[in-house]
């Protein structure tokens, strides 16, 4: 049931993310389509306007005493947005409108305008004006070269700007959703851990008192020291749970000793069918850590390994100095983990066992990454052959 609820929550988050991305894509596509249609209509309108402007220019150049120049001049002067250049049949600039040539000499300006005219022609933005009578230089036509107006260019770029804004919105929304989910999960796990530690406190104190009574009553009994060890072990477990949610104070510890403590504890509490192999260097590996919490992480990996092997197999614990970090690896000969679940095993509530809460690896990840600023991940796994978990701790 717990696993089912976790998966339902994960599916809902996934559905919301898909909905956000789909909405963003729809908005982007709709914006691009509408903008394209508007740009297409404006291009046609500007070309029509330039046709009228070119005709007015032709009428001005071929005007006689009967031509009404007032209307012609009004049309010519009415072009205040569209860049236009008039050239003769030799490519020489005759006139231009709505082009900025400030800061250039006259010769440079003409050369610049001529290049702009050729560029406009290359894009097909040209209207030829056939003159009724050739001028003194024998020119029988002129050409009006034009470009897109500033408004049209802005409208062309606008949907891409809008697409960027929508993309940023989706990224922020997804980030906020994931952060909210993570914060809610953390609150639940921290509350559960502290409540567990609180509930364990009273019976552990009572057990410690009874052990002292038994020690005084039966001072020679060999079982009482073992009972005392188990009670103190319970006290240490409660201490670990109480530290979840608060930042522990790291202290320099020998990583070899921490791993050895785990091996001794697991070795006394598992069957002879489980073999423990340890590989560590002779020199100490000093790391700043919270030893009780880190021991819990390694213990949890060992217990999961025992479950994966169904109580029969070999667990290999390795600690070594790899130059830029200290590494701890826990390998087993169990049933293995499918590749698709390498990351899922650290999700709260995920478990393949019929019993358990599915919190162990989630808390282990929190302890390693948030409290010790390290990494924990599935290094390798093969179905039917076993799994290796790897922990990396930074050097300080």
- What class does CATH assign to 21-148? alpha beta
For residue 87, how many other CB atoms are within 10 A of its CB?
22
What per-residue confidence (pLDDT) applies to 75? 77
- Position 349 scores a pLDDT of 65
What is the pLDDT at residue 3?
40
Report helix, strand or coil for 388: strand
Q: What is the pLDDT of residue 136?
A: 43
CATH architecture under which domain 247-394 falls: 2-Layer Sandwich (3.30)
- Domain positions in the chain are 21-148, 177-246, 247-394
Q: Are strands 286-289 and 325-331 parallel, antiparallel or unpaired?
A: unpaired
- The answer to whether residues 128 and 140 touch, using CB atoms and an 8 Å cutoff, is no
Q: Nearest to residue 314, comparing CAs of 366, 278, 260? A: 278
Tokens representing 278 are: 């340890």
Check residue 5 and give its pLDDT.
47
pLDDT 10s digit of each residue in the chain, 396 long? 444 444 455 566 667 767 777 777 787 788 778 877 888 888 888 888 888 888 887 777 777 666 667 777 787 787 878 888 888 877 788 888 888 776 666 667 778 888 888 888 888 888 887 776 555 444 577 888 888 887 787 777 777 787 788 778 778 877 887 777 777 666 776 777 777 777 787 788 888 888 888 888 888 888 888 888 888 878 877 876 776 666 667 889 999 999 999 998 888 888 889 999 999 998 999 999 988 889 989 999 999 999 999 889 999 999 999 888 999 999 999 999 988 888 888 877 666 665 555 678 888 898 899 888 999 999 999 998 999 999 999 886
Please answer whether residues 365 and 352 qualify as being in contact, where contact means their C-beta atoms are separated by less than 8 angstroms. no
Instruction: Identify each DSSP E strand in 235-349 by its residue range.
Output: 251-254, 274-279, 286-289, 313-321, 325-331
What is the structure's pLDDT at 355?
58
Least Cα distance to 133 among 204, 62, 47, 186 occurs for: 62
247-394 has the same fold as 21-148: no
């Amino acid at each position: 049931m717990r696993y089912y609820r976790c998966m339902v929550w994960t599916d809902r988050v996934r559905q919301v993310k898909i909905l956000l991305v789909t909405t963003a894509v729809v908005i982007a596509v709709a914006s691009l389509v509408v903008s394209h249609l508007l740009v297409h209509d404006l291009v046609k309108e500007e070309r029509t306007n330039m046709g009228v402007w070119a005709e007015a220019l032709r009428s001005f150049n071929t005007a006689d005493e009967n031509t009404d120049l007032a209307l012609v001049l009004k049309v010519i002067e009415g072009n205040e947005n569209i860049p236009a250049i008039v050239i003769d049949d030799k490519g020489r600039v005759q006139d231009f409108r709505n082009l900025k040539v400030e800061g250039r000499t006259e010769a440079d300006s003409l050369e610049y305008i001529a290049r702009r005219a050729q560029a406009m022609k290359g894009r097909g933005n040209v209207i030829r004006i056939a003159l009724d009578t050739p001028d003194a230089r024998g020119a029988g036509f002129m050409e009006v070269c034009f470009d897109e107006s500033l408004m049209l260019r802005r409208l062309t770029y606008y949907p891409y700007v809008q697409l960027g804004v929508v993309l940023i919105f989706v990224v922020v929304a997804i980030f906020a959703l994931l952060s909210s989910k993570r914060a809610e999960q953390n609150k639940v796990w921290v509350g559960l851990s502290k409540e567990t530690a609180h509930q364990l406190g009273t019976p552990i104190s009572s057990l410690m008192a009874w052990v002292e009574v038994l020690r005084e009553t039966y001072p020679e009994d060999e079982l009482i020291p073992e009972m005392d060890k188990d009670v103190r072990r319970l006290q240490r477990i409660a201490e670990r749970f109480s530290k979840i949610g608060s930042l522990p104070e790291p202290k320099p510890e020998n990583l070899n000793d921490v791993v050895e403590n785990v091996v001794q504890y697991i070795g006394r509490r598992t069957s002879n069918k489980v073999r423990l192999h340890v590989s560590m260097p002779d020199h100490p590996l000093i790391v700043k850590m919270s030893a009780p919490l880190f021991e819990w992480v390694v213990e949890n990996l060992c217990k999961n390994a025992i479950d994966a092997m169904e109580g029969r197999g070999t667990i290999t614990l390795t600690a070594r100095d790899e130059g830029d970090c200290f590494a701890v690896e826990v390998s087993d000969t169990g049933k293995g983990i499918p590749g698709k679940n390498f990351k899922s095993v650290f999700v709260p509530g995920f478990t393949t066992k019929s019993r358990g809460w599915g919190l162990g690896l989630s808390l282990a990840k929190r302890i390693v990454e948030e409290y010790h600023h390290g990494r924990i991940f599935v290094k390798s796994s093969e179905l039917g052959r076993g799994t290796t978990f790897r922990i990396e701790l930074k050097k300080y």
